[in-house]
Structure 1
Amino acid sequence: MHSQAHDVGVPSLLEALRTGTALLHVALEKRLPFFCERLDAGWYQRLLPAYYGFYAPMEAALYDSGLIPEGFDQTLRVKTPTLLGDLNALGLDEAAITALPRCAELPTFDTPAACLGALYVLEGATLGGQVLRREMAQRLDINADNGGAFLNVYGAETGRRWKDFLDYLGSQPLDACAKERAVLAARSTFSCFEQWLDSQEVLL
């Protein structure tokens, strides 16, 4: 009972992450071009390699850290292979993909909490992808077969996998300091992603 009373008023990890990243999330969404009237096939074909240039090193750094708490299925949730398939569908061969620029300014994943913060951003993006998928299908006739699989990376499993991820987050016994590290890593992930996309000149 004592520990429960002590925890009253302390935000959960999910609440801390949502609150701590809300402004950065909104700011990035406003700059993404998916709903811009000027977005055309050419812009999309520059946007996807930019996404790959962030996700490939980001996921590699995360999964190679060895610090992700037990219970996260990396094989099930890795997104870089789907992006690779989309780039192939857009006409890029292995040599062209290898030559793509990659983000070198990544967040630091030196604690399990930091990994959780970054995963929160990457997993949360799958929900937004559902809206983007419909928009790209309607406007550019892009689907899972011709360069849009990443936007629907989990398909019909999207909702369930997000709920599973939230359950996973909720099961992590993080103290206040660890929660703060998770939030800092999530904020850094948003910031690094926006700065990278900006450097690739694909944002509004």
Structure 2
Amino acid sequence: MHPQAHDVAAPSLLEALRAGTALLHVALEKRLPFFSPQLDADGYRRLFEAYYGFYHPLESRLYDCALIPVGFNQALRVKTPTLHSDLIALGLTSQAVAALPLCPRLPRLDTPAACLGVLYVLEGATLGGQVLRREMARRLALDASNGGAFLDIYGTETGRRWKDFLDYLGHVPLDDLGRQQAEDAACSTFSCFEQWLDSQEVLL
């Protein structure tokens, strides 16, 4: 899944992002309740209300900042509308969704490199969603029609879109400072997300 070898800067950016976020990624995964025997339909709904409370303000800020390096197709990759549809399928009204609390502490999006770091986390989560989708289908009978669309947001395109994203990431020229900014933003995304979910009392 690495970019082509002739892209000298890309592997170092990808490896910096992977290595820099590894501990935070593992720590958050251990606290997410998807594989907990206690997770029921109500717990799933509350979890995804919290997800919406993070994704909605983060994507709004990300896509409004005009700093994302050229080549990223926002229309294909925005996640918030799918979360909104899932919450409606889970029984919320549009008014209830609009009234959900939103995360006040988000990663800084003040450089193009920082945008890449945030996108790395958001796109990586879609890959991990495939395992969660299967578990939620088995345990809660959820699919794309009744509240599980977010976990399979790209469907059969998941693998290809991840590879396309890595290719995009590999073709953005960044110096050492830029790579550090990307890594810092990715780490901040994990930290902000975990703290938000914790504050909403949906983690283990």
Short-chain TM bin: over 0.9
Q: In the TM superposition, what is the alpha-carbon distance from 1:42 to its structure 2 partner? A: 1.0
What's the secondary structure of 1:12's corresponding residue? Answer: helix
Q: CA RMSD in A?
A: 1.5
User: CA 1:108–1:40 in structure 2 vs 1: closer, same or farther (change >3 Å)?
Assistant: same
Q: In the TM superposition, what is the alpha-carbon distance from 1:11 to its structure 2 partner? A: 5.7
CA contact (8 A) 2:9 2:173 kept: no
Measure the CA separation in 2 of the matches of 1:120 and 1:58: 13
- Letter of the aligned partner of 1:72 in structure 2? F
What's the secondary structure of 2:110's corresponding residue? Answer: coil
Per the alignment, residue 191 of structure 2 pairs with 191
Q: In the TM superposition, what is the alpha-carbon distance from 1:10 to its structure 2 partner? A: 9.7
Measure the CA separation in 2 of the matches of 1:124 and 1:11: 16
CA contact (8 A) 1:86 1:146 kept: yes
Measure the CA separation in 1 of the matches of 2:8 and 2:23: 26
Counting aligned pairs with the same residue, the percent is: 73
User: CA 1:8–1:85 in structure 2 vs 1: closer, same or farther (change >3 Å)?
Assistant: closer
Measure the CA separation in 1 of the matches of 2:133 and 2:67: 32
Compare CA radii of gyration and give the structure with the larger one.
1
What does 1:1-204 align with in structure 2 at a 5 Å threshold?
Answer: 12-204=12-204
Measure the CA separation in 2 of the matches of 1:107 and 1:37: 32
Post-superposition Cα deviations, 1:148-198, rounded to whole Å, max 9, x if no partner, equal: 000000000000000000000000110001000000000000000000000
Post-superposition Cα deviations, 1:110-159, rounded to whole Å, max 9, x if no partner, equal: 00000000000000000110000000000010111000000000000000
User: CA 1:11–1:166 in structure 2 vs 1: closer, same or farther (change >3 Å)?
Assistant: closer
- Letter of the aligned partner of 1:182 in structure 2? A
Q: In the TM superposition, what is the alpha-carbon distance from 1:12 to its structure 2 partner? A: 1.4
Measure the CA separation in 1 of the matches of 2:104 and 2:10: 35
Post-superposition Cα deviations, 1:5-52, rounded to whole Å, max 9, x if no partner, equal: xx9899611011000000000000000000011111110010011000
| Structure 1 range deviating more: 111-120 or 85-94 | 85-94
Post-superposition Cα deviations, 1:43-89, rounded to whole Å, max 9, x if no partner, equal: 00100110000000000010001000000000000000000100110
Q: In the TM superposition, what is the alpha-carbon distance from 1:91 to its structure 2 partner? A: 1.1
List alignment gaps of at least 5 residues for structure 2: 1-6
What's the secondary structure of 2:87's corresponding residue? Answer: helix
User: CA 1:195–1:74 in structure 2 vs 1: closer, same or farther (change >3 Å)?
Assistant: same
Moved over 3 A (4+): 7-11
